[in-house]
Structure 1
């Protein structure tokens, strides 16, 4: 992946453009309706009661998110699978999933399904944003990590049928459909939520929803309380926005957020405000802060990785501002440049890379280098 100074400026400009489009799409247009069969706002999510066990009862017949047993990768094995854990990782950004797109950042169920099936066929295995940020992308050797992220906790992301299975055209429903069709496609994703996760108003319904997801390997984390434009707020208001979500998630039984996504991808002037803070008796500290675009992220093991501003890719085609900056373009680019893509070695204790990339690994990770 290219990394010259002029490109960096272009990327930042593209990110600003993505932010502008998101502002228009989310602030001006009305909220899209939930997919057919999804519960209305304030209506209880059907399904099992919340539980802290790994598999709530009754358990729908759904694929597991468990990772394969770890292996020990030798230099020769890493060469055979063409491992490159200094490569680029696509982190895809989704918003509403609607039958009729009302904004450029909306996607239809068919578009999401098509993109996820493409990822599965091409050898990508989903990991959560938390797993990416902490460097625990322990997927099978020779496979490529991809991070599926969904902003705003929209009703189209998650809802359950009366039998406890995900509604077909929600994000979770589509992810499981693809996982059934392609068994190597791990059914996990990250949902960054606001004050009403998945459009639910009653706390008992919110609790049931997030517990269902977290118990199955999905990540539910912080996207601010009311989705404001953070650069427009004073520091104390930014801290309150983040802490209030942490307080809610704690009540719902979710572990403290290790990641957060900036509303509209807009970074406050003082970055440290969104990295850690305390409001009243609630504190937060994130290991990864995510932007809104506009290229694959560098590996968390390399020197250029900035956990305070992690790049994402908007899920979209190649029209308008997406001609070079959205998922269809970048997935094609990575396919044409496989040497630039993160390829796993299957070994959580080693960072396998071609020998020429030794100098790219962060100093605190060099003891793990397995070069070939």
Structure 2
């Protein structure tokens, strides 16, 4: 392994009762914009209503904000056993379905169980963008984990009539775990193709991606039609990436800083998936992600390669997953805590045991805090 949150009492009481009844009615009645018979995911295969835009999270949803940073001394870093040269698990999910149709699918129960395990083990989610840019400003003593979802499937995100994420979607499950474990930050990265979250109309797509982006989630590039990039000429590869980038910009999200390669397949001309321009739309990434099969090294170490970042498939320990998927690697990291990234809580310092000082790149701008 590489080092790798009054008039009278009667009138007042009456007003309170009226307000309470009105609130209950608003919560129970379906959204007036929802078509009759609209159902949430998992209800006889019906599609959920398109997500609605909202400028800020409803009070019942946990915030993605991080706690204020601290200043970490060498002694403090020693106390929390900080090691920001350690390995980071970047988990890869595809469809979240009640019935698994492929080996890479996960059921809602399986995903919920895995996220709860992460929460209990002290992991705090960060986005792929935060990882690739070295902005993993999580609390001291905690470990970053990157939750990534490929293909923008409808099981990743949909809203109920009351505006909350559908229970068995990826976003719904993330929020449920964040409620149960307050230190579990509700963020993830969704790499989408031409129909984000199964939505066909751009107005619906815009509402969805804006809802997610306003709450700290990352929506980024996974190519237009999910082709096998090594089989395409350079111009077609650039087109595949730039078309999604153009779509995301029309939908109102920031330019993508990360890209997930379809099938994890790197084209022969690697530069085509790092930067390019097509019909006036340009892109330049800070992290290109593969599809497996081990934790990534820290973005602060010398052998970190932003052009080919490793991920781990979310899965059990059968067949090919016996030593390559999430259940195995999360267990391995628990048994080898000195190999795992542990934060110091200080964005201005990179804290490591003294013996790892030489593994840190010197061009990061942060002060190296060795103990």
Q: Does the 8 Å CA contact 2:41/2:168 hold for their aligned counterparts? A: yes
> Could you tell me how far apart the structure 2 residues matched to 1:164 and 1:338 are?
40
Q: Does the 8 Å CA contact 2:158/2:166 hold for their aligned counterparts? A: yes
Mark the CA change 1:35 to 1:370 in structure 2 (over 3 Å): closer, same or farther. Answer: same
Query: What whole-Å deviation, never above 9, does each CA across 1:102-126 have from its counterpart, x for those lacking one?
Result: 1110000000000000000000000
In the alignment, which residue of structure 1 is the partner of 2:168? 169
> Could you tell me how far apart the structure 1 residues matched to 2:186 and 2:366 are?
32
> Could you tell me how far apart the structure 2 residues matched to 1:259 and 1:205 are?
23
Specify the SS of the correspondent of 2:91. Answer: strand
Specify the SS of the correspondent of 1:220. Answer: strand
In the alignment, which residue of structure 1 is the partner of 2:73? 74
Shift of 1:44: 4.6
Query: What whole-Å deviation, never above 9, does each CA across 1:273-320 have from its counterpart, x for those lacking one?
Result: 000000011000000000000000000000110000000000000000
Q: Does the 8 Å CA contact 1:195/1:225 hold for their aligned counterparts? A: yes
> Could you tell me how far apart the structure 2 residues matched to 1:368 and 1:230 are?
39
Q: Does the 8 Å CA contact 1:44/1:205 hold for their aligned counterparts? A: no
Q: Does the 8 Å CA contact 2:224/2:240 hold for their aligned counterparts? A: yes
> Could you tell me how far apart the structure 2 residues matched to 1:291 and 1:341 are?
20
1:212 partnered with 2:211: yes
Shift of 1:35: 3.3
> Could you tell me how far apart the structure 2 residues matched to 1:3 and 1:76 are?
22
1:45 counterpart (40, 44, 50): 50
In the alignment, which residue of structure 2 is the partner of 1:35? 41
> Could you tell me how far apart the structure 2 residues matched to 1:367 and 1:180 are?
33
Q: Which has the larger radius of gyration?
A: 2
Mark the CA change 1:233 to 1:38 in structure 2 (over 3 Å): closer, same or farther. Answer: farther
In the alignment, which residue of structure 2 is the partner of 1:113? 112
In the alignment, which residue of structure 2 is the partner of 1:302? 301
**Alignment: residue pair count:** 336
In the alignment, which residue of structure 2 is the partner of 1:190? 189
> Could you tell me how far apart the structure 2 residues matched to 1:230 and 1:353 are?
38
Shift of 1:89: 0.1
> Could you tell me how far apart the structure 2 residues matched to 1:314 and 1:367 are?
32
Q: Does the 8 Å CA contact 2:2/2:297 hold for their aligned counterparts? A: no
Question: Which consecutive segments of 4 or more residues in structure 1 shift more than 3 A?
Answer: 37-41
Shift of 1:36: 1.6
> Could you tell me how far apart the structure 2 residues matched to 1:36 and 1:367 are?
47
In the alignment, which residue of structure 2 is the partner of 1:241? 240
Shift of 1:70: 0.5
Specify the SS of the correspondent of 1:322. Answer: helix
In the alignment, which residue of structure 1 is the partner of 2:264? 265
Shift of 1:270: 1.1
Mark the CA change 1:105 to 1:115 in structure 2 (over 3 Å): closer, same or farther. Answer: same
Specify the SS of the correspondent of 1:212. Answer: helix
Mark the CA change 1:190 to 1:77 in structure 2 (over 3 Å): closer, same or farther. Answer: same
Structure 2's unaligned 5+ residue stretches are 5-39
Q: What aligned pairs does 1:137-176 form with structure 2 within 5 A after superposition?
A: 137-176=136-175
> Could you tell me how far apart the structure 2 residues matched to 1:267 and 1:306 are?
14
> Could you tell me how far apart the structure 2 residues matched to 1:258 and 1:93 are?
18
Structure 1 range deviating more: 361-370 or 246-255: 361-370
Q: What aligned pairs does 1:342-361 form with structure 2 within 5 A after superposition?
A: 342-361=341-360
> Could you tell me how far apart the structure 1 residues matched to 2:212 and 2:276 are?
26
Shift of 1:182: 0.2
> Could you tell me how far apart the structure 2 residues matched to 1:207 and 1:363 are?
40
Specify the SS of the correspondent of 1:364. Answer: coil
Structure 1's unaligned 5+ residue stretches are 5-33
Mark the CA change 1:219 to 1:40 in structure 2 (over 3 Å): closer, same or farther. Answer: farther
Mark the CA change 1:130 to 1:283 in structure 2 (over 3 Å): closer, same or farther. Answer: same
